Structure formats: structure tokens, C-alpha cells
Amino acid sequence: MRIVALLILLMSTLTASASSTPDLQPAQLERQIDEKGAKDVAAALFANKSSWSALTKNVRAGKSEWIDAAVRLKSGTDGGASSELQDALFVALENNPRHVLQVAAPTVPVGVLCSGRSDPLPTARAALSELDRIQKSVARVHDNDLAERQKDCLGALEVAKANTKRFFKD
């Protein structure tokens, strides 16, 4: 019973700290992760819809500091939170492919990172268009240190296209 009470207190403290920061900043997230751990911070953020939305929006936009924070948070997530972070990192490939491949790929396998959203966009046209845009962005990366990851990502994107076509055909 004492453990349950302690967990409730910890979650309410984390939720309060996440909700009291409407202008959530990546450096602040990094400090919270250092202090409380990725699992507790991710749980508190996910429980606070506006903070979680701000995080995923900034990651999808390809902002490097947000991608860095998301990669650190990813290790503390499971289920829906993990899926949403992975989708945000996938979308970030369009806007900042070099940084995503450099920072996220060591944590999230390239084949997973570049395989598309866990839930595709509502139409085949939208989903395939997104895959094409991301594929073009990834193809424009010119970094010898990332060449293998880039090649693997482009291959995974081709597979994702075929799977998307198959998904919408049925």
C-alpha cells in the first residue's frame, strides 16, 4: 500500500511539473530525464496531453534538440507512447534526415525507424506521398559516416511503400 501511495505521489509530482510548463523546452526535458529517469518523465509527459503534443510536434518538425530529447525518452516508453515517439521520429526524417539518422538510428533500428508510421495516414495517396517525400529527403543526405544507415533506411522505405500499397489494396 505504501508503494502505491509513493507511486501516486511521484506521478502527481511529475505530472504537475510537466503541466506547469506550458512552454516546454528540450533542455528542461533533458534535465528532468537526468534527474528522474526517462521512464518517469515519459509517463508524466504522456499523461499530460498538451505537453506530449508539444513534444511530438517539435520532433516531427525535425528540430534537432527535440529529436535528441525524444531519443532519450524513447528508452523509457512502451505501448502508445513508444509508438507515437517512433512515428514522430519517422516524420522528422523528412525535415532533418541527417540528424535523425545520426542520433535516432543507434537507438531505434534503421529498419524500424524507416518502415513508416505504425498507423498509416488515412489514404493510400497521403501515405505514399509522405513516404516519397521522406525517401527524397533521406536520399539527399551526403555523409560518409551515415552512408550505411542511409542505404538501409532507403531500403526500408521501399519495403514500407510496398506494404502501404498492399495495406490499402485489401
Domain locations in the chain? 2-169
Residue 82: predicted pLDDT: 94
- pTM: predicted TM-score of the whole model, two decimal places: 0.85
| Rounded Cα–Cα distance for residues 112 and 87 (Å) | 10
What mean pLDDT comes out for the span 148-168?
A: 96
Q: How is the chain split among helix, strand and coil, in percent rounded to 5?
A: 80, 0, 20
Residue 17 CB neighbours (<10 A)? 16
- Do the Cβ atoms of 66 and 58 come closer than 8 Å? yes
Whether residue 98 has pLDDT greater than 50 = yes
- Quick one: pLDDT at residue 17? 44
**Per-residue confidence at 89, pLDDT binned at 50, 70, 90?**
very high
pLDDT at residue 64, as a whole number: 97
pLDDT grade for 164, boundaries at 50, 70 and 90 = very high
What type of residue sits at position 63? K
- Calpha distance 19→146 (Å, rounded): 37
pLDDT of 134 over the 60 cut: yes
- Cα separations in angstroms, 2 against 6, 8, 151: 6, 10, 52
